[in-house]
Structure 1
Amino acid sequence: MKSRYPILVLLLWMTSLSFGQDRPNIILIFTDDQGYADVGANGQVSDIKTPNLDLLAKNGARMTSGYVTAPQCIPSRAGLLTGRYQQRFGLDHNGLIPLPLSETLIAERMQKAGYVTGMTGKWHLDPNHQSNEWIVENLPELNHKKKYLPEDIPFEKKIPYMSSNRGFDKTFQGYGTNFWATYTLDGDEIEAQWIKQEGYRLDVQTDATVEFIKKNSDKPFFYYLSYFAPHVPLEATKKYLDRFPEDMPVRRRYCLAMMSAIDDGVGKIKQTLREMGVEENTIIFFISDNGAPLKITMEDKPISFKGGAWDGSLNTPWVGEKGMLSEGGIRVPFIINWPKGIPGGQVYDKPVISLDVAATCVALAGLGTVDELDGVNLIPYLNGEKKEDPHEAIYWRFWGQQAVRMGNYKFLKAGDTEYLFDVSTSEHENKNLIQEYPEMAKTMRKSLMDWDSELKNPVSPFGEIGNENEWYEHYFKN
């Protein structure tokens, strides 16, 4: 044993040299159903109070054309954590499959680079009772059922898909008071198991993040904080509700309170990084998983209503909502903060997408360029090394909708209806330019179809529009 020890030390030393000695810590914050308007720094509404997020943007880069890969939670998270268009592996939308075990997640790549990894909050990438394609293939004994229930999915079938088996060393995965955890908020390490943790769900998720930082700030770390907010059911404590007047729609007040809780959490995380001496070399991404679900009318249903409803968030100034490939569904709050690595005070208008997080992380970890990733390392664009657009094109496909953005222009097809917009103008998706620029539309349509042909389930011709037709009739009636 003694003769092998120096060799082990040498190998570890050489590994640290190959990856670089000064690699940043990374915190990826992903909110749930938060619209573009609901960060004060975006300057769209006056009632939001997010001083810590605003400071994060002021001292970093506010990406005003920041997108996600889908207007729905499961595919959006799958794209984020793999760094690949989720249609490449058949996870086009909710109700199909869990995140395939064959896909490599950011956390797994970071582990190989010597990072300690952790997560808390919403996961939603394991099999559930709505994973219809997966159930048919993996649980044939249920094929006689017309409707599946949560209890139909054996937990042992879920375990391989849980965060603790997808590259995360430390997990505190959960929504409310039940958490699949490998550590406690007291700092104890435990075998992966379900634990009960009382407290307000957002404060718990913040505390889990803070505990991880305190325990692991002596080495490079990657942490995924997946806040379950402002997604319904809307919940907020008196502490946060008291910050907002009662003479407003109740659902809006609860959303503002939940965003205030997230904002407090960001402040607490920043303070912890400061105390541990790692604030300057920690990069923080703050992104929403999709736009807000307005339900067209933004009906102010009682908080006691626990079903799908407006969550109180706003997509101003963009058109549309969650479930749509219009800007309101996919253009989201997107902030990058890295005191040591990028200049502060940036407002970056060129199109970027959540796929870029994985590519940026692996580059910062010293892993170079990974060809299978669809994103790009954003740091050279934010520190002035590169001046061109990060992407020639960004693509989407969801239900009966397809879209591509190239430069300032966006081609959108919903069913048989086609649109062309200059989304950099004040008119954005309120003015269809397809009659004025038919050749541009033709070029973008071909680019979109070429991309579609690369996917696991190519759609040719493009899919039929379904339930989203009501949205398009409302938002694009002119």
Structure 2
Amino acid sequence: MKKKYLLTILICWQMLTVGFAQKPNIIYILADDLGIGDVSAYNPNGKIQTENIDNLAKCGVKFTDAHTTSSVCTPTRYGIMTGRYNWRTTMKKGVLHGYDTPLIDPKRETVASFLQKQGYKTGIVGKWHLGWNWGNIEEGPTKVDFSKQVSNGPNGNGFDYSFCIPASLDMPPYAYVENGFCTAIPKDSCEGRKGIELFRAGLSAPDFKPEEVIGKFTEKALSFINQNANKDKPFFLYFPLAAPHTPILPIGEFLGKSKVSPYGDFVLMVDDVVKQIVATLKKNGIYDNTIIVFTSDNGFANSANLQAQLSKGHNPSIDYRGLKTDIFEGGHRVPFIVSWGNVIKKGKVSDKLLCSTDFFRTVAELNNAQPTDDTAEDSYSFLGEITNKKSNFEQRASVIHHSSNGFFAIRKGHWKLIMCSHSGGNGKPKADSEDARGLPPIQLYNLKNDIAETRNVYAEHPKIVKELTDLLTKHIQEGRSTKGKIQANDGPTHWSQLTWLGK
């Protein structure tokens, strides 16, 4: 025990004095549709108690002003993987589905391919949702040859190992794909399965049972850790869960455990996954040399039955306005926790502005490496915030938000400018509603004294509106928000969401 304690001290001393000489392992856990108020470390008055996620916060840094690039799934995942805003791609709104082709350009560097070059063994277990090429997909979904290896998926984007489902848990085809091959061929229709609510009918593989997905993912993630612990290479595990996204499927001991709702029970299953990850790291003696990031891809989804949560006194968005899909804070402000054994200060709460794209340059700085000019164009390092060491990388001063329907907002300081009169998504007021038609074309909120975005003060601050509009336009048109050479955006260069500005 004494020898292990001395070894931990030596590791920490080396990292803090010689610039992270021993590279840490990295695990990035991405929950799916988990609201910021569903984590009790952020919502002490909430009714769901996530003790294991809370323990990460107690042992690390809890960011209170962290945001995803988008208020829906696929775009956020693109930003995490590339360090680039999702709307710079050809997909200007919405999400991909299970048969869709890749969103990531095969020539683009991802955080996984970047870490491979830094000597990491890379793995992904979970929900991919960024598209890939099924066999014969060019002939249409009904002609897909599931026996063929998929291309331009995780293994083509920097992952040595992959075990994934193609998209969300309610999107066909329903199949596990390991290193590009289906573990069983999808051939049966999922329609009519008693007791299981799948919102989109389609083909399902015989080994695919929706209620077992979270357990199967956890089993594969723990296996990856066990196989790669204490090896010559450090490892990076990207662990994008498919929960608590619908369909809500708590099982076994978790049924009724939250005493709130089936959704609350499903959240506790996610919390238990964190417990198992930490226990496995400690069992292998690598907890102190492993960075764990825990976050969500967007806010709580109304399809998970918001009213059921509110009726029990639990608000997944806390005091923030909006939900998944919306441009309001509840759509994209998420829990973001980073722990790193004994290396970083325990229990720190940071109000530093952070975006999900920032993971890329953070691990770049961790490895004393600089991305090329056409890589991670919208990523800023937060390494200094978790280590209390002065960062040599550019720091974030503003962030651009994006809704499911493709509408923009920009945040700088406590000012947030929204480029539409409505929610930008499925929330109220909707774009085509009578309420929205009677509102000003833009919204400006002072989040310092109006975190719930209730008072639009755009008419009172024309200089702020102009400053933020100019900054947003600049960051859009230059193809980057970081310093560097101007880059090209993909797809149409006419931004319909900015037409009222004449841009």
What TM-score, normalized to structure 1? 0.78
Number of positions where the alignment pairs a residue of Structure 1 with one of Structure 2: 409
2:158 maps to 1:167: yes
Superposed, 1:339-358 pairs within 5 Å as 339-358=341-360
**Residue 323 to residue 437, structure 1, CA distance change in 2 (3 Å):** same
Secondary structure at 2:291's aligned position in 1? strand
Specify the SS of the correspondent of 1:347. Answer: strand
Deviation of 1:295 after TM superposition, in Å, equals: 5.7
Q: Is the 8 A contact 2:20 2:366 kept in 1?
A: no
Deviations, residues 336-393 of structure 1 (Å, cap 9, x unaligned) = 1112432111111121000011111222234234442121221112333349993121
Superposed, which structure 2 residues align to 1:302-313 within 5 Å? none
Q: 1:334 corresponds to which letter in structure 2? A: F
Distance 1:432 1:157, change over 3 A: farther
Residues 1:384 and 2:388 aligned together: yes
Aligned to 2:298: 290
Tell me, in whole angstroms, the C-alpha distance in 1 between the residues paired with 2:28 and 2:304: 30
Decide which of 127, 148, 157 is 1:122's aligned counterpart: 127
Residue 432 of structure 1 aligns with which residue?
456
> How many Å separate the matches in 2 of 1:78 and 1:239?
34
Corresponding position of 2:365: 363
Q: Within 2, Cα distance between the matches of 1:58 and 1:262?
A: 18
| Alpha-carbon distance between aligned partners in 2 of 1:417 and 1:158, rounded to the nearest angstrom | 48
CA contact (8 A) 1:359 1:370 kept: no
Contact kept in structure 1, 2:380 and 2:394, CA below 8 Å: no
The 3 A distance-change label for structure 1 pair 414 and 155 is farther
Question: How many angstroms apart in 2 are the aligned matches of 1:349 and 1:44?
Answer: 18
Q: Is the Cα contact below 8 Å between 1:27 and 1:224 reproduced in 2?
A: yes
Trace 1:252-267 onto structure 2 (pairs within 5 A): 253-267=261-275
Q: Mark the CA change 1:207 to 1:446 in structure 2 (over 3 Å): closer, same or farther.
A: same
The change in CA–CA distance for 1:87 and 1:461 in structure 2 (over 3 A counts) is closer
Alignment partners' CA distance in 1, 2:305 and 2:269: 26
Deviations 1:101-146 (A, max 9, x none): 23222111111111111111111112489xxxxx9xx94x66xxxx
Could you say which residue in structure 2 is the equivalent of 1:320? 322
Q: Is 1:59 paired with 2:64?
A: no
Q: Which residue of 2 aligns with 1:409?
A: 415
Report deviation, 1:78: 0.7
Q: In the alignment, residue 65 of structure 2 is paired with which amino acid? A: S
State the 1:162 CA deviation: 2.0
Look up the equivalent residue of 1:79 and give its one-letter code: G
1: CA distance between counterparts of 2:250 and 2:317?
21
Q: 1:198-235 CA distances to partner (integer Å, 9 max, x unpaired)?
A: 67221221121111111001230000111111111110
Q: Does 1:27 align with 2:41?
A: no
Query: Bigger CA drift: 269-278 or 374-383?
Result: 374-383
Q: Which residue of 2 aligns with 1:243?
A: 257
Q: Kindly indicate whether the alpha-carbon contact (under 8 Å) linking 1:121 and 1:227 is maintained by their aligned counterparts in 2.
A: yes
1:315-351: CA deviations, max 9, x gaps? 2221111111111111111111112432111111121
Conservation of the 8 A alpha-carbon contact between 2:71 and 2:402: no
Q: Determine the C-alpha separation between the residues in 2 that align with 1:285 and 1:447.
A: 30
Q: Are the aligned partners of 1:76 and 1:289 in contact in 2 as well (CA < 8 Å)?
A: yes
The structural deviation recorded for 1:270 is: 0.5
State yes or no: 1:231 paired with 2:236.
no
Q: 1:38, CA displacement in angstroms?
A: 0.7
SS for the counterpart of 1:120 is strand
Instruction: Give me the CA root mean square deviation.
Output: 3.1
Indicate how the Cα distance of structure 1 residues 124 and 369 shifts in structure 2: closer, same or farther if over 3 A, else same.
Answer: closer
Counterpart of 2:228 in structure 1 is 216
Match of 1:7 in 2: none
2:111 aligned with 1:102, yes or no?
no
Q: State the distance in 2 between where 1:222 and 1:358 align.
A: 12
Which residue of structure 2 lines up, in the alignment, with residue 204 of structure 1? 216
Do the aligned residues in 1 keep the contact of 2:244 with 2:270 (CA within 8 Å)? Answer: no
Partners in 2 of 1:313 and 1:103 — Cα distance? Answer: 39
Q: Name the residue aligned to 1:181.
A: 178
Deviates most, 376-385 or 256-265: 376-385
Matches within 5 A, 1:4-15: none
For residues 350 and 421 of structure 1, what CA distance do their matches in structure 2 show?
A: 19
Distance in 2, Cα, partners of 1:263 & 1:153? 36
CA distance in 2, matches of 1:226, 1:126: 15
Q: CA deviation at 1:171?
A: 1.5
Deviations 1:231-289 (A, max 9, x none): 111101031123133xx5xxxx1221111111111111111111111101111111111
Paired residues for 1:21-100 under 5 Å: 21-43=21-43, 45-93=45-93, 94-95=95-96, 98-99=102-103, 100=105
Q: What residue ranges of structure 2 are gaps of 5+ in the alignment?
A: 1-17, 185-206, 422-439, 480-488
What letter corresponds to residue 456 of structure 2 in structure 1?
A: N
Shift of 1:88: 2.4
- Partner of 1:209, secondary structure, is helix
Corresponding residue for residue 476 of structure 1: none
Q: CA deviation at 1:450?
A: 1.6
Task: Provide the residue aligned with 1:279 in structure 2.
Answer: 287
1:151 maps to 2:148 = no
Structure 1 letter corresponding to 2:227:
K
Report the Cα distance in structure 2 between the residues aligned to 1:227 and 1:268, rounded to whole angstroms.
14
2:426 maps to none
Contact kept, 8 Å, 1:74 with 1:124, in 2: the verdict is yes
Deviations 1:3-61 (A, max 9, x none): xxxxxxxxxxxxxxx99740110000111111110111002543112101001011111
- The residue that corresponds to 1:423 in the other structure is 447
Q: What SS does the corresponding residue of 1:29 show, helix, strand or coil?
A: strand
